Amino acid sequence: MDAAIEVADLRKTYRGRRTGEIRAVDGVSFRVERGEFFGILGPNGAGKTTTLEIVEGLRRPDSGTVRLLGASPWPHSPELTGRVGVQLQASAFFEFLSAKEQIETFAELYGATRDRAAEMLELVGLAEHANVRCEKLSGGQQQRLSIACALVGDPELVFLDEPTAALDPQARRNLWDLMRAINAEGRTVVLTTHYMEEAEALCDRVAIMDAGRIKAVDSPAGFVKGLDAPTRVTVAAGQLTDERVKELAAGEAVTADGAAVVFETRDPRKLLTALASDGALEGLAVRTANLEDVFLHVTGREWRA
Amino acid sequence: MSLDTETTPRARVGAPRGKAFLSLFKALGRGWLRDRSQVFFTILLPLMFMVLLSSVFGSTGGSTPRVLAVGEVPVLEGADPDDVAVAAAADLDEALALLREGEADAAVVQDGERVLIYPSPTSSTSGAIAAGEISALVDDVNVEVLSAAAPGEPVLTAEVEEADGGALRPIQYLAPGILAWGIAISGVFGAAGTIVDWKRDKLLRRLRLTPASVSTFLGAKVSVNLVVALGQTAVFLAVAALVFGLELSAWTWFAAPLVLLGTLAFLAIGVVIGGIAQTGPGAAGLSNLVTMPMAFVSGAFWPLALSPEWVQWLSYLSPMRYLNEALQAVVVYGEPPGAVLPQIGFLAVFAAVVAAVSWKTFRFDEL
Ligand SMILES: Nc1ncnc2c1ncn2[C@@H]1O[C@H](COP(=O)(O)OP(=O)(O)OP(=O)(O)O)[C@@H](O)[C@H]1O
Ligand SMILES: [Mg+2]
């Protein structure tokens, strides 16, 4: 079976009269397997949306090739678009229609039933807002409606461009559950995000993108492992003598100030057991390396989402 | 939480074309009906114009001239009250003051054989009409005097035979013009505004990723506009006939294809404007810039014959001229469709050329 997505050496340069040339996508290649949850992580302007738009078939690249479910997204064919669901970064709705009318229109275009439309509205938690005009929905509700429209055609492959951008923490968690469920049913999901923890929580594999290029692709765990970074263990100061701190550090880095002692250890289990037996667990915080450290490592730049 | 794929069969190819067209037509049509500003613009604004213009033109064209007799004016004694309405003024100063305020159309002083006419300085047309009526009265008196002096001597008489069964009442002349203008603005503003909206809300991009084709969507959008134009025409002609007494000819139904053709031409203009403009106000400004001159040189609001020659030349370029002429011919004069073939031809060529220009210049990746 073909891969869900195969992209080779995509390039896209925007030419504006005032802005000059912007290399939005600069030699991007990646492959997404069927059923995979694939994330593209990167700061503003990294080229995530442009890449997605090219893969979806909204933009033509200057060069490079795209295979989507084994076919070319260009020219458009109903056979292909019927199998793909898309949520664009900017929500796009028919003016003056209610949420229900909106999704029913999309359902009709995808040849899906009204029941399916109602089901999707329910799924994204908009059932009680069904009769509200789209423009009167809050930003997060619009986002969810747009996701419902992406799912209404029962797609095999779903593109979600920053789906959680306008959501409150609770809605974000709900949407995470929803995205996991979508993926668990065997649909391939491609997600872009600014949020490290989102990519970490959801994705099978993550591509780290910066300045138009994909810097690295790996699973979140693989990234962290490959980083080989120490775990930072923090406890409140004043519970350990200076000698004991030195002893516990066992030659690894440790910093202490008036408020806290921070160990950087590669054997957190041993350190934590020792701290527990000393009864020195007040103010305990354990921070393992995460994608933020990975981003710093991969791009040489501090993460500033 | 689960997406049950057992109960909902997989959609593969999407809706067939006809069904997709209907869904889109329904969605866009609903949106149109709920947009109050659109409804105002296409239905109410032309009606307001009709009220305004027919009262402006109606007041000068229809009423009898009002003449002030200063002192004794024997020549006015034989006046038919249907031709002139005579009132008395105490002296010339009072009469002139009344003229300036627009209370009368002319003042008359008679001093023996001399009849002095003071036409209105504020309204030259009605002043001239009043002066003409008074001259006619003077002529009548002279004819009587001469016939008495030399009986048997023949005198010339002039009789007015009214063409087309009477002069066009203002509404007969104005209604087709205002309708043509209404069709023009709703087409141009509507298309330009829609394109700018699409640039902003990216709806078209989203729809491009559904199984429905862009051409189906554009077809649905144009169809909504055509249906709106037909509704607009029906409402307008009905109000014109029932409220303003417009007499509709038997060929009035042929206004429908004319209006559809005109709408296509104006939509094409709007698409070009929408391609250039980036914001709503920008699109409205440009649309005004195009429709105002187009209306002024079209002969829709006043006869082209009253306009300077260069305007008459420019009018040949205005599609509103042809729509107006064709509507006037079939709706008011009852001419058969064959008589307006040149106008139809021009509108069709115009629509095709502008549509080709918009197609060539339009940057689809902006949508
Ligand atoms: N239509 C366009 N015309 C010109 N330049 C563009 C256009 N769209 C994007 N760009 C530029 O291309 C670069 C990449 O933009 P893109 O939207 O792909 O980034 P992104 O990673 O999706 O960012 P964000 O996280 O903010 O959504 C940016 O520098 C942007 O300014
Ligand atoms: Mg983006």
Query: What's the Cα-to-Cα distance from A194 to each of A26, A45, A213, A218, rounded to whole Å?
Result: 20, 11, 16, 17
Q: Is the CB of A207 under 6 A from ligand 1?
A: no
Q: Whole-angstrom Cα distance, residue B26 to residue B32?
A: 10
How far apart (Å, rounded) are the C-alpha atoms in residues B225 and B25?
10
For residue A93, list chain B residues with Cβ-Cβ distance below 8 A.
201, 203
Residue of B nearest to A134 (CA): B31
Q: What is the pLDDT of residue B167?
A: 54
Asked if residue A238 is part of any domain, the answer here is yes
Kindly identify which residue of chain B lies nearest to residue A53, measuring between CA atoms. B205
| Chain B residue numbers touching A94 (CB-CB < 8 A) | 27-28, 31, 203
Q: Domain spans of chain B?
A: 20-56+169-366, 66-160
Residue ID of nearest Cα to ligand 1 atom 6 = A14
A169 in Cβ contact with A201 (< 8 Å): no
Q: Name every chain A residue with its beta carbon within 8 A of the beta carbon of B198.
A: none
ipTM of the complex: 0.83
* Residue A304 Cα, gap to closest chain B Cα (Å): 28
Ligand at shortest distance from the CA of A88: 2
Residue A234 lies in a domain: yes
Q: Kindly state the helix (H) or strand (E) to which residue B34 belongs, with its residue range.
A: helix B17-34
In this structure, what CATH number is given to the domain that contains residue A255? 3.30.70.980
**Positive or negative: CA dihedral B121, B127, B128, B131:** negative
Residue B150 CB partners (closer than 8 Å, separation 6+): none
d(CA B20, CA B23): 5
**DSSP 8-state class, residue B188:** H
In angstroms, the CA A107 to CA A117 distance is 6
Intervals of chain A under pLDDT 70: 302-305
Please write down the HEC assignment for all residues of A213-237: EEEEEECHHHHHHHHCCCEEEEEEC
Point out which residues pair with B220 in neighbouring strands. Answer: none
Per DSSP, the three-state class of A258 is coil
- Domain holding A257, by residue range, is 230-288
Q: Residue B113: phi, psi to the nearest 5? A: -85, -10
Q: Is residue A97 part of a domain?
A: no
Q: Closest Cα of chain A to B11: distance in Å?
A: 6
Mean pLDDT split into 10-residue runs, chain B, 367 residues: 44 71 94 90 90 72 76 82 83 87 86 86 77 84 84 74 59 90 94 90 89 89 96 95 90 96 95 92 94 88 81 89 94 93 95 91 75
Shortest Cα–Cα distance, A73 to chain B (Å) = 10
The answer to whether position A18 is within a domain reads no
Residue A113 tokens, joined: 């039933």
The answer as to whether A119 is a domain residue is no
* CB of A46 shorter than 6 A to ligand 1: yes
Give the count of domains, chain A: 1
pLDDT score at B329: 94
Residues of A at the B interface, defined by Cβ within 8 angstroms: 56-59, 76, 78-79, 81-84, 86, 88, 90, 92-97, 101, 105-106, 108-113, 115-116, 119, 123, 149, 151, 153-154, 177-178, 181-182, 185
Chain-centroid distance of CA A147 in Å reads 15
Test site for ligand 1: of A50, A88, A196, most ligand atoms within 8 A of the Cβ: A50
pLDDT in the model for residue A171: 86
Interatomic CA distance for residues B332 and B244, integer angstroms = 14
A180 Cα to the center of ligand 2, angstroms: 21
| Cis peptide bond prior to B46, omega within 30° of 0 | no
For the record, the structure tokens of A60 come out as: 């033509």
Specify the ligand 1 atom closest to the Cα of A51.
Answer: 18
Neighbours of B101 (CB within 10 A): 10
Q: Is residue A224 within 8 Å of residue A289, measured between CB atoms? A: yes
Q: Is the Cβ atom of A98 under 6 angstroms away from ligand 1?
A: no
Instruction: Give the pLDDT score at A74.
Output: 85
The pLDDT of residue B61:
47
Asked whether the beta carbons of residue A93 and residue B34 sit closer than 8 angstroms, the reply is: no
CB nearest A154 (choices: B11, B31, B207): B11
- The predicted-structure confidence for A256-301, as pLDDT tens digits, reads as follows 888 889 998 888 888 999 999 988 888 898 888 777 778 878 877 7
Secondary structure percentages of chain B, helix, strand, coil, to 5 = 70, 5, 25
pLDDT of residue A189: 97
Give yes or no for residue A14 CB within 6 A of ligand 1: yes
Q: What is the pLDDT at residue B215?
A: 86
Half-sphere exposure of B353 (CA within 13 A, CB side): 8
Q: At what angle do helices B45-61 and B214-242 cross, to 10 degrees?
A: 30
Give the predicted TM-score (pTM) of the model: 0.79
